[in-house]
Structure 1
């Protein structure tokens, strides 16, 4: 399989979600034709890319036909009407297994849909199938299961947990997908595969019917080709859910209709942090991003962030405790069925005392307070999507043993899960190998409308998100 950059004028497979929505609404494209085209492309390319774990062809085509018929009667459900999407395989689906990247739960068939899946279906989305993820949504794929392949270059890392979502969205196998982010698992695969990933505020989106990695850190959000598309999906899935008492009560804005900034935002950038922990190519991408923002008339100011490296270390231990609790019924009882990465995380959690956990929570609360203080003075914080530019698979094999690499990967993402603030990651450049690089904006709690408007404005001024991998199956 080979890959190269193509222009934005590729076939319909690379159209943005909102463009396909308009084609369907206007009658120029039926939902059935769009859905069949996706399945044909999946059949051609996914035997090599390995992004799907389950295809739902029969139910998807039935849904597409029903949506075409309702549209013919004048019943349009909104911008997701008839649009083919795909779901990360940790969200429950009543009509397909939900394995969460494990072998233990590979045959688990829930009897209800996760709230996010139910809301997408109610909004008219067609569910193509379930997307691969790392074991239990942690860092490593189970050794007995396939790893999704980056469509830009097969030796390039495809990201962590939501790698299947990133690969499928980037490769034109769906018009958007759901991912989850506990330590960076929306933003890292979005970075690696050159798509837009939105991590909402913790609680903004229901976690009902989601297989947890660490409940107080888990976030569900969209992975799409643009900020505009992310706004459409977030609008459909966000909002309080009585079945998830931790979901937020704040009303859901019309994100897709609020993509114009009412003023130029103030963007904070910690150059000392970037110089100390991120590689040269990443720093060059960040400085190029700053130039774009300044040209847009935004004000970029130097800031000192709270101790992000310490927060990233705290994240690992906190995640371990919560993951150990999630897996208490099967670990250690079925230890031999676990892969090494997830097992090691659970052991970290099981090895901590109550006092250790209390100290971790205190550290997390203090960090969150400092982040809120920082965000009171700025509108957005600029970070990379990942602090090492487009790492290769061989590089990432050293993630657990290379402290410098661990910091570069986790510092831009894991601390933002600790504090629960929303962020958006977008294509912002390319490596020397022609693989994607990404910038990230962080905003204050429940300021997704600002993130999406800022992301849309950035994407109107750049063309990184319009470039796609050209994949030739072999």
Structure 2
């Protein structure tokens, strides 16, 4: 087995025991990138020179007997909306095409002894479900390069699936970690809102955004999650609490676990194969001692509309900072200040970003605020209450991650509403601020992965990870695509 094919947990032990060096592992990953990146297009910026230097530094520290974190020397890819000091961070937008941050996001400071391979492609400013909205290029699904990898963290999921990084970081506003994890057959965790600092994450919708890990197995995801959680004084929404060592506390026991099956997530619009695959996965857990009951989350029907109102409203405010004055792209020709604003934003933003800014500005405008935004916030409160009510009777909720397997590149680009419908199973989690994980549970007749989503109550990541780990132990883990 090549080094790049191994999981982070095994590689961490091998580095610690000096069976391999970080430099050897990093070279193996970059050799893999050179072999397959032309087919996948997961990266926007590669940083091989600095990565090899960092790997050599880690090896030197280990040789001296210094205590380092479990992720020391592991090559990690970073979504391109997470600030990396000295390394270009574009948000896949023309607006930030040459932006090099002068500071690190908090998660990067927490992961200070990883090896950063580079910055991963995404939908522009994290707005999209297919990574086709990137200003630079679309990323391809490693299981079928004519298909999308999902989004907005499409590069993060594709890089793990193609083994162009051992683990990656993504961000999730309405499903942007879980949805591409499902399409690319990897594990993706959206943590509880407030458990991971958002400082240094370029904001899309501040009340919904959350950084989280993607990996080839549950234990890898647990290991990264353990490293990035914790209170941060630079993030006012960061929670004060103690967190367990998620990887060390992993257990594959689901005896007595109560699983809820919400009928609203298995109705019209969900592909029959996807539906059956998730139910088969739940039955496997039931055989191990879990109990299963049907539940109802009636406000789910309004979740998608509420999500796009709330997220677009926040996006229109957050993206007002990109005006051509302080940093980023500025139009070359303009007549006065107002014209400079208009031309800069017209030329610097892509169609999807402009669509959401316009929608957000509309729902916040005088005369429409009460009719749209205020109602969406009321629905958000109702959804939170419904989840809280159900978690009094069940421990975990199981649903499909997305309604179907990955569709072909270009298939839905002319139909924004069809594209938005891909998020129907995931947006409620962000609206309620809950944790959720997507884990591969089947492959269709074309070899395309299907993901099962497990949703938990706030700060129940350990239970979610344990449930996913138990399932993974039953059925086997990651299936590597042929590229």
Coarse TM-score class (shorter-chain normalised): over 0.9
Alignment-derived partner of residue 389 in structure 1: 405
1:130 and 2:119 correspond: yes
- CA drift of 1:361 comes to 1.4
Aligned ranges 1:178-189 → 2 under 5 Å = 178-189=169-180
Contact 1:25 1:76 in 2 (8 A): no
Query: Cα 1:94–1:58, aligned 2, differ >3 Å: closer, same or farther?
Result: same
When normalised by structure 2's length, the TM-score is 0.91
Structure 2 segments unaligned to the other structure (5+ residues) = 324-340
Measured against aligned partners, the alpha-carbon deviations of 1:352-373 in whole angstroms (never above 9, x if no partner) come to 1332322221221121111111
Alignment-derived partner of residue 329 in structure 1: 321
Aligned ranges 1:225-240 → 2 under 5 Å = 225-240=216-231
- CA drift of 1:306 comes to 3.2
Query: Cα 1:398–1:188, aligned 2, differ >3 Å: closer, same or farther?
Result: farther
Return the alpha-carbon distance in structure 1 between the equivalents of residues 80 and 42 of structure 2: 11
Contact 1:176 1:224 in 2 (8 A): yes
Measured against aligned partners, the alpha-carbon deviations of 1:94-148 in whole angstroms (never above 9, x if no partner) come to 1201111111111111111100111111xx2111111111101100544641111
RMSD: 1.6
Alignment-derived partner of residue 78 in structure 1: 69
Contact 1:430 1:436 in 2 (8 A): yes
Residue correspondences, number:
456
- CA drift of 1:66 comes to 1.1
Alignment-derived partner of residue 223 in structure 1: 214
Alignment-derived partner of residue 470 in structure 1: 482
Match of 2:94 among 96, 100, 103: 103
Aligned ranges 1:256-335 → 2 under 5 Å = 256-260=247-251, 261=253, 263-271=255-263, 273-330=265-322, 333=342, 334-335=345-346
Select between 269-278 and 145-154 the one with higher mean Cα deviation: 269-278
Structure 1 segments unaligned to the other structure (5+ residues) = 1-9
- CA drift of 1:273 comes to 3.6
Contact 1:87 1:179 in 2 (8 A): yes
- CA drift of 1:337 comes to 2.3
Residue 104 of structure 1: SS of its match in structure 2?
A: helix
Alignment-derived partner of residue 158 in structure 1: 149
Return the alpha-carbon distance in structure 1 between the equivalents of residues 447 and 415 of structure 2: 23
1:432 and 2:445 correspond: yes
Contact 1:281 1:389 in 2 (8 A): no
- CA drift of 1:264 comes to 3.0
Contact 1:390 1:431 in 2 (8 A): no
Aligned ranges 1:346-361 → 2 under 5 Å = 346-352=357-363, 353=365, 354-355=369-370, 356-361=372-377
Aligned ranges 1:337-416 → 2 under 5 Å = 337-352=348-363, 353=365, 354-355=369-370, 356-397=372-413, 399-402=415-418, 406-407=420-421, 409-416=422-429
Return the alpha-carbon distance in structure 2 between the equivalents of residues 345 and 383 of structure 1: 28
Contact 1:142 1:338 in 2 (8 A): no
Return the alpha-carbon distance in structure 2 between the equivalents of residues 263 and 127 of structure 1: 39
Select between 413-422 and 270-279 the one with higher mean Cα deviation: 270-279
Query: Cα 1:272–1:313, aligned 2, differ >3 Å: closer, same or farther?
Result: closer
1:56 and 2:69 correspond: no
Residue 267 of structure 1: SS of its match in structure 2?
A: strand
Alignment-derived partner of residue 214 in structure 1: 205
Return the alpha-carbon distance in structure 2 between the equivalents of residues 272 and 335 of structure 1: 39
